Structure 1
Amino acid sequence: MTAGDFPLPTLACELERIADELENGRGFVLVKRIPVERYSQAAANTIFWGVGRHLGVPVSQNASGHMLGHARDTGRSLADPGTRGYQTRARLPFHTDGSDALGLLCLRAARSGARTAVVSSAAVYNAILARRPDLVERLYRTHFLDRREEQAPGERPYAAVPLVSFSGGKLSMRYNRCYLESAQRFPDVPRLEPTDVELFDLVDALAGSPELRLEVDFEVGDLLFLNNHAVLHSRTEYEDFDDPELKRHVLRLWLAVRQGRHLPPDFWGDPHSTGGDPDRGGVAPRDVIATQKSVGLGGCRHPW
């Protein structure tokens, strides 16, 4: 389904403004109170996908080829190299995701917790420049991100990327400390130096500081879009309901945006095949046959 299959005569102009705000403004937009309680799961999926298609092209979020993701607690630990952040209720520190833009639609909220916050990448960068200018050059160096067992056969299990790039007059950041540290399990990845740890500590401290971060009331029916190049986001740990029908459930999209910023060739590390623009992020899907059960649990897959 494309944007042409999902006409929005009264919302399309607002979505154009949202797209401009994501790329040229503050880098995030929160749309409040979509009445998700009126719709079935399938209808909510369709609405979210259709709105997202007006902003960009969905790219695969994992090696299984899920294009429409479901953020739910699976009881897994982030310490497990095969676990991704949307599969756990554990705290997620400030990070960016592997696409131009992230879209989240809250269908059900947790019993408590799951507080969302955002921070400007440029604000973090400027604060590092002001406090520790000696660390700025290290942001542009090659660092190594764990690919969490989602590389294609024959590819390296980690991506070699800069944390920051400056291209086309815009600063872009790619940061996930959990993946930076877990990449150390590979013997051919260079060991982190003490100065690297100092840099990561400073990024985390600045991103979480009250002066820079903004907490977001992400509630049932809320739709949040983030520009991953311009904004880092986090989520606190949460407690969920025992009833499976009440557990927290958030839909997620990774989008390659139209008319996105120029990014250097090494920004995404190893070449990606996303089903959209291969230079706009995503995880290359493996050529697998999925059972109906796994499709139902995981989300929509590539139309092979």
Structure 2
Amino acid sequence: MREIVVISGKGGTGKTSITAALADLAHREQPVMLCDLDVDAPDLHLLLEPDRAETQQFVSGFEAVIDPAACVNCGLCVGLCRFDAIRQGPRGCGIAPMRCEGCKVCVQFCPAGAIAFNPRHCGQWWVSSMRFGPMVHAQLFPGSENSGRLVALLKKEARERAKAQGIELLLCDGAPGIGCPVISSLSGAGAALIVTEPTPSGLHDLLRVADLCAHFRIPAAVVINKFDLNIQNSAQIERQCSQRGLPVLGLLPHDDVVVRAMVLGKCITELPASGFSEALRSVWQRLPELSSHSPRPGDLNIKPKP
């Protein structure tokens, strides 16, 4: 099974629009399993309108809960909590769930045994169907943690379901940045497609996520979105990629078709042909060059930074 993860060192580069368009191009040639791994702020469903066939709850970690009937209002837990999550009132103490870090100190030292340590309900994940095939996606509740663990769960489910259905391509929309969700997104991937933009922050974050791919020996390539907004910066990005052995698979122009597609709830490739969609087709045709082999130590031609 080929597994391609579309990532970006920063948000706002157009990663989700590009992933959706690649899913459209892929399903015209072969069955594809789509997985949205941006669990903190998913938006791929806005374009693909998946039909949620299966809903599962995501439970991870624990949180303290005070039983008001058992609380003697001694206030000991208030002083012990290092996260300022407990407040004492005239009728007893209460815990703010958004502040509780699940350290269990209050549970351990409550003299009345009034504090329970319950599993924390952090979000939901779904198995859906959309116009390009099956899709696995999720949503963490605001302020919830363990996004890396949820990403790992989604990838496991997507792989198993793709194998059961005989699907040989898994296309993942990863989270922005280089943190835990991105590391989890790259785990076991066959290739990474990095989407960047011709800005100083775009270049800076591209190099960070490229270093991350190199660390895990994941073959990576680059797409420069809106390259014609700053030709000089785009040329600088291409030079940096050349020095690091990172192929640039495509230069996508700034095009109003992207906004029109969003307004219509469509992928860019579902609208009449444009310079943007043709450039994307070229990227899709070149992707097999990157992901046709399993990465091994020494496969990447990573050169030191200048």
TM-score interval, normalised by the smaller of the two chains: under 0.3
Task: Please identify which structure carries the higher helix content.
Answer: 2
Structure showing greater relative contact order (alpha-carbon pairs closer than 8 Å, 6 or more residues apart): 1
Q: Could you tell me the TM-score, scaled by structure 2's length?
A: 0.26
Q: Could you tell me the TM-score, scaled by structure 1's length?
A: 0.26
- In terms of Rg, which structure is larger? 2
